[in-house]
Amino acid sequence: MAVQAIRDSLKQRGVRLTRQRQILLELIDKSGLHLDAEQLYKLAKEKDSKLNRVTVYRTLKLLKEGGLVDELDLMHWGGDQHYYETRTKQEHAHVICLRCGKVEEFFGEPLQKLRRQVESHFGFQVVLARTEIGGYCAHCQVLRAQEAREAADRAATAPPRKPA
């Protein structure tokens, strides 16, 4: 969802788009990253030193309740924190590397096909679909293979253990 559409939606609901809310909204929409509340706070603080954490959390709640921002857990890769992104017109899957935390977005017909299958199979009207896929990016696959070889080499050259 474009920032202008979000502005219009807030205005229709009688919510003022303050300078601080504008900063947060633009950070979420234009950063190209999935930021958590603390990251948003730090980036927003650079733009407005008067901004505080309470404003960040209240704004995120307001945007989320208004259906303007999605709250994601991204496989809980970084712990319990949640990440935020503006609603896009096209649904997508989040592909998360379980080692380095890299997040990619996947758009395409396979997701639409899955949605149609769910609707058809269950007689279900899908309103919102969130898909997360966890695995290992190409770089981390190489690192994992290297670590496995090193562990095997260490095990092969280690002296035998004495029984307890």
Assign 130 a pLDDT band (cuts: 50, 70, 90).
Answer: confident
Quick one: pLDDT at residue 150? 92
For residues 81 and 34, the answer to whether their CB atoms sit within 8 Å is: no
Quick one: pLDDT at residue 121? 96
Burial class (CB in 10 A: 0-12, 13-18, 19+), 22: middle
Please give the Cα distance from 139 to 125 (Å, whole number): 39
Domain boundary among 68, 88, 108: 88
Question: pLDDT tens for residues 145-159?
Answer: 999 999 998 888 878
Whether residues 34 and 112 share a domain: the answer is no
Domain boundary among 88, 115, 136: 88
Whether residues 2 and 71 share a domain: the answer is yes
**CATH code of the domain covering residue 70:** 1.10.10.10
Range of the domain at 71: 1-88
Burial class (CB in 10 A: 0-12, 13-18, 19+), 64: middle
Question: pLDDT tens for residues 69-107?
Answer: 888 888 887 777 888 888 766 788 999 999 999 999 998
Whether residues 73 and 106 share a domain: the answer is no
**CATH code of the domain covering residue 116:** 3.30.1490.190
The total of structural domains in the chain comes to: 2
Mean pLDDT of 31-59: 91
Whether residues 107 and 80 share a domain: the answer is no
Whether residues 61 and 129 share a domain: the answer is no
Pairing of strands 131-135, 93-97: parallel
The verdict on residue 164 lying in a domain is no
Pairing of strands 83-86, 35-36: antiparallel
For residues 98 and 134, the answer to whether their CB atoms sit within 8 Å is: yes
Which of 29-33, 45-49, 158-162 is predicted most confidently? 45-49
Assign 56 a pLDDT band (cuts: 50, 70, 90).
Answer: very high
